[in-house]
Amino acid sequence: MTKLFSFLARRVERGGAAVAAITGGGGKTTLLYGLGRELAKRRRVLLTATTKIFSPTPDECENVFIGDARSCAAFLAATPRPSLTAAGALRDEKNKLHGYSPHELEMLLAGGAADFVAAECDGSRGRSLKYYGDHEPPVPQGCSFVLAVAGVDALGKKADEESVFCAEAFRALHGLEEGAAITEREYLKYLRCEENGPLKNAPRAAKKILILNKWDEADEEGRGRLAGVIPALLESYDAVLCASERENILYGYTER
């Protein structure tokens, strides 16, 4: 059985030092910390956000730094390799770390403070899909990877707030009535959309990897329907992973 996070870590490490932007629906924070732990077996890794993330538990990351980007750079430079640090400019009363701007993340990498930076670039309140507003997501334009997350459990479900963050705008985009279900057509269109889907603001030069999360929760029919759209997804993504982040299992992998 293939471990998702170790597989993904080996893939993103091929390009050397890099920034990875994590976008999409629920599962981004699990991906952030799971990937970070694997990368930190060999590298000095910084985990943060361009928005806000919950501060990690000790099991997720013991080393937490609070301070501005320049102070963070000095802190990281004094941290021995390999290591894992979660950082933010401040931690609020809800135990959320407020991260750094895309420019600051690129500065931290370029200055050699970190060997690898992974950043969560938006929030979706755990919903399987996320419709992006005009100001979202703040993705570093110098990032080497965009890791997009989408829950397969949304397929066949109603396009409501249970499954989609900003469901009303999502329905308007796809011409769906309230109470209508999300079919393969809407699912595919959403995942490939560069205006309101997880590819929004993704740099053209970045490698784009889609994680179809909660694969273990789909029945045989659902998996078959999803497998049928993967060839079309590869027109927009460099690779598609069928996985369970919660169980750290990679069920399938397809690339161009």
Per residue in 25-67, pLDDT (tens digit) is: 989 999 999 999 999 999 999 999 999 999 999 999 989 999 9
Residue with tokens 């959309």: 193
What's 57's DSSP letter?
P
Low-confidence ranges of the chain (pLDDT < 50): none
Residues facing 250 on adjacent strands = 2, 243
What is the H or E stretch that residue 254 is in? strand 249-255
157, 182 contact by CB (below 8 A): yes
Residues with Cβ within 8 Å of 133's Cβ and at least 6 positions away in sequence, in order, are 166, 169
Per residue in 57-81, pLDDT (tens digit) is: 999 998 999 999 999 999 999 999 9
pLDDT recorded at residue 37: 96
pLDDT recorded at residue 16: 81
- The rounded Cα 144 to chain-centroid distance in angstroms is 13
User: DSSP for 146-214?
Assistant: EEEEEEGGGTTSBSSTTTEETHHHHHHHHTPPTT-B--HHHHHHHHH-TTTSTTTT--TTSEEEEEEE-
What pTM, to 2 d.p., does this model score?
0.94
